[in-house]
Amino acid sequence: MLQHRPSQNVSATRLRRPTVKDPRLVVGILLVALSVWLGVWAVDNAKDLSVAYVAAQPIVAGQAVTQEHLRPVEVNLAAQGSQYVSVPLDADHNYIATTTVGEGQFVPIGSLVHDQAYATRVIAISTSTVLPRNVTVGATVELWAAPRVAASGDAPAPTLVATDLVVAQLPATDQGFSASSGQTVHVVVPAEQVSDVVAASMGDMTLSLLSYPKDES
């Protein structure tokens, strides 16, 4: 009887080693090379990471800032790293924000100064008129005042008391907006305007806070 023998050609095909022309071998080599390159890239970039601080909550110009207001993040800022706060605040000093920094934004080094070097005051203003809708924490406003008069008297023209005041706090019941008059708004006042604002607040005046068009949303 004749016995069936496997074809030598089939065996040769099965045992054939992959060659450079085999697309599977080429793809495998490329994947290995890519994984090695990604690993080297990740290691090199990890060496360049440094700690910088972002605002953990909105920081308003004129407010006191402590370490609790900042949150550390690892980031690669390259040459710009020296422009932002990268070390914890010195617990022996009190810091004041000179500019408004939004939540999650990097905190510029120049935006924090020692409290002795920043001459501002926070003053509570009881408004007599409705606040504009765009008056939120961090917005810049003007303070206008007009003497109160009897209903039958002629209303005098209002006068500008102070400019470039920064809103530090609004009534908590409005979550950042005010829809009625007679509410108290805390504003950051530059030193040279403090006396005028205090005088207007203590006098028998109708006070109004007006916003700038650039702050409108």
**Beta-carbon neighbour count of residue 96 at 10 Å?**
20
Measure the CA–CA gap between 182 and 128, rounded to whole angstroms.
5
In a domain, 69, yes or no: yes
Residue 52 carries which side chain, given as an amino acid letter? A
Amino acid 55: pLDDT = 93
Residues 101 and 176 in one domain: no
Amino acid 32: pLDDT = 76
In a domain, 143, yes or no: yes
Residues of the chain predicted below pLDDT 50: 10-12, 174-180, 215-217
Amino acid 178: pLDDT = 41
Q: Structurally, how many domains does the chain consist of? A: 2
Span 89-137, pLDDT tens digits? 888 888 888 788 889 999 988 888 887 667 778 888 988 888 888 888 8
Q: Compute and round to an integer the Cα radius of gyration of the chain.
A: 33
The domain in which residue 94 lies consists of 21-118
Amino acid 67: pLDDT = 92
Amino acid 43: pLDDT = 57
Query: By three-state DSSP, how is residue 36 classified?
Result: helix
